[in-house]
Amino acid sequence: MGKWDRWLVPGVLALVGVPFLITGGVLWAVVPRSVANHAKEVARLPVATAATLNERGAPVLLEGRVSDRNPVSDRPPLVAYNEYHRVRRDDEWKWEHERSYNPTLWVQIPGKEVEIAAGYSLQSTASQVEEGRDGPLGSVADHRSYEGFKVSDRVLVLGTLSVAGDYPVINEAKIGFETKEAYLASLEQDQAIACWMGLLFSILGSLLTLGAGLAVYLSWRSAITR
């Protein structure tokens, strides 16, 4: 074995093990805490009503439905959507996010319509439109999926109230197809998944790093006993 060959195995083990340890630590300690803090903030927010949208700059949580005031987009019946393009990567078909169509959105709550300013993000969606163009021999050459909302879909909106009063406007919004209760349940699940993934990565990283240390020790013992 050459001078540098003896360090190949421990080097590879360490090169893989250390990033696994770092990733595991982040997933175990940082991500669950961040998710938990966000969940506490959401839990403290009451579901807004027509009478409570009066504090400009305050965080807001809405439960409502997509208003029929919204014009249909170029992908009917959707009024807002995320566009995904099916592409082939590493001999596998994958969906890649291509763009978002997120114009001003009107949400109906009891007693009032609320304007959601353009530029919001769609976190989870209720409706879907698919398009595909056949290629040679029946293969799909261009396949796209549009996932978003249509009129009357139920939505949960988290954002900041930028205009209060009779014509409220919410900026920097995140919109999902769920209720507050369901969203909190999903955050709890995300927290548990992050903990388990962190534990798994930490164990694998520890084993690989210990393997690198053992390989270095055996190589050193072999060198001094010759």
**Residues 22-66 pLDDT 10s:** 777 777 777 778 888 888 999 999 999 999 999 999 999 999 999
Provide the H-helix boundaries in the chain: 8-25, 31-44, 180-224
Report the 10 Å Cβ neighbour count for 146.
21
Number of residues assigned to the chain: 226
What's the rounded mean pLDDT across residues 218-222?
Answer: 64
Contact 146, 82 (CB under 8 A): yes
pTM: predicted TM-score of the whole model, two decimal places? 0.74
Identify the three-state secondary structure at position 80. Answer: strand
Structure tokens at 89: 């990567």
Supply the pLDDT for residue 137. Answer: 47
What's the rounded mean pLDDT across residues 208-223?
Answer: 67
Supply the pLDDT for residue 5. Answer: 53
Supply the pLDDT for residue 20. Answer: 73
